[in-house]
A and B are shown apart, each in its own frame.
Chain A
Amino acid sequence: MTELNKEYEEFQNPEPCLVKVQLFEGPLDLLLHLIKKNEVDIYDIPIAKITEQYIKYLEFMKVLNLQFAGEYLVIAAELSLIKSKMLLPKPVIEEEEEDPRAELVRRLIEYQVYKDAATDLSGRDVLGRDVFKRDYTDTFFEQEEEVELIPVDLWSLIEAFREFYKRRSYLWAEEISFESESISIDDKIEQVIMRLQEKPHLRFDELFDDCSSKFDLVITFLALLELARMDNVNVVQESPDSSILISYSGELAIGSY
């Protein structure tokens, strides 16, 4: 029990809400560990002793509130079955009966073979860990998540503008009107295209950076709507809460309007 306490301390984690800790790769790994720890012959496993320790371990994991997969219970049941078979008095000798442990031993050894093979693989000079090649690209090793851009529908666009207009328009509470300077929607479209051609994309609010009046805001927005309607710009966002991005789809040369 003292040993269990020691291990309890070893595995106890300062973070109380940590629920799942991979102590062993699986039940076979745990069994191999117990066999090694007890220094017993794998071909003559003292089943009663190992089973007891195995079940103690599961209980210990339960105490720690660790989850363990159902596979652990399957092996626990197998161990109990083997144990009971070995306890049964041998009937009158018929043939050489197979050791009830044989199948389990076969599995343990097979697993150990691949555990060793895995260690050997890891011991090699692994590309991206120990050795590097030319033109190292992150994408080869890191599956960088491709951001799926979702198209923004008309209503979201209008909603975004409504919000934006509310925030911005106070700047020009007292509208000063320069009738002569008012710009046509066609001219505004050209301006927007020119700005979009300079950059891969503009954020929705950046689009209105050079606006100096409420009228300007509205006409810029109308220009955007027109461009979107004609499929000359792509209006996308990464998620419904992220900023709206506008990019030029390159289908229209300046001057067509």
Chain B
Amino acid sequence: MDLTDLKKSIESIIFISDQPVSVDKLSLAFPNYERAQIRKCLKDLVEEWDGLDRGFLLSEVAGGFQFRTDPKYSEDISNYNKKVRKFRLSRPALEVTAIIAYKQPVTRVEIESIRGVDSSGVINALLERRVIEIKGRKEVIGKPFLYGTTSEFLEVFGLKSLNDLPTLKELDEITQNLEPSITPETEIEESTTL
């Protein structure tokens, strides 16, 4: 099998998969090829699909590769297939997800102290949706659960990995949004740097 064949074979595997296909899994399937060769094939495939300008794209998400539709056609897809009900994330769910994504592993109490409201219901809903999971217990009194994000989280938000998360807005930017005219005092800044 030459490299063109390898590329097409990888393409067909991605095509039939409902989970992102990782280089790890592919190198198990093709033990006679170097990981670098597999990576090269993937890179070529992504570029080729990009260049084709089709209704879907080959995207790198959650540590693997996956065919995904162009966001332009989301309405048409929902109209065509009524079963494809829009995935809704409420504002509280987004807030809790964001806090967990950036501060993981994190306990419920820590999440609630940031939001100022009880968040147990939201946490349970996110656990059920498998966007977050329990990563362990914190070694403090009561041994509370520590929460973290899952690979489904990366898939849902189209992130390659957690490093792909945009950096949290700098404090200056935040305060500028809140109050455009006044510059913040430095002494408070220190305690709030994240």
**Interface, chain A (partner B; CB < 8 A):** 25-29, 32, 35-36, 39-44, 69, 71, 75, 102, 105-107, 109-122, 124-138, 140-143
B71 close to A130 (CB less than 8 A): yes
Considering the chains assembled together, what is the distance between the CA atoms of A118 and B191 in angstroms?
22
With a CB–CB cut-off of 8 A, which chain B residues contact A29? 116
A112 with B178: CB separation less than 8 A: yes
Can you name 9 extra interface pairs (CB under 8 A) apart from A25-B91, A40-B179, A126-B89?
A: A26-B115, A106-B191, A116-B174, A118-B98, A121-B94, A126-B158, A127-B156, A131-B69, A133-B67
B129 within 8 A of A: yes
Name the distance in Å between B171's Cβ and chain A's nearest Cβ. 7
14 A-B contacts, Cβ less than 8 Å apart? A27-B116, A43-B188, A109-B192, A113-B174, A113-B194, A118-B91, A121-B94, A126-B156, A126-B157, A127-B155, A128-B156, A131-B74, A141-B85, A142-B85
Residue B141 lies at the interface, judged by CB distance under 8 Å to chain A: no
Q: Are A36's CB and B178's CB within 8 A?
A: yes
Among candidates A40, A115, A126, A137, residue contacting B87 with C-beta atoms closer than 8 Å: A126
B84 contact set on A, CB distance < 8 A: 128, 132, 136
Residues of B near A26 (CB, < 8 A) are: 115-117
A25-B95 contact given A41-B179, A75-B116, A107-B116, CB 8 Å threshold: yes
The minimal Cβ–Cβ distance linking B169 to chain A, given in whole angstroms, is 5
CA distance A165 to B128 in the complex (A): 45
Q: Does B54 contact A (CB under 8 A)?
A: no
Scoring B116, B171, B175 by chain A CB atoms within 10 A of each residue's CB, the highest score goes to: B116
Output the least CB separation between B118 and chain A (Å): 7
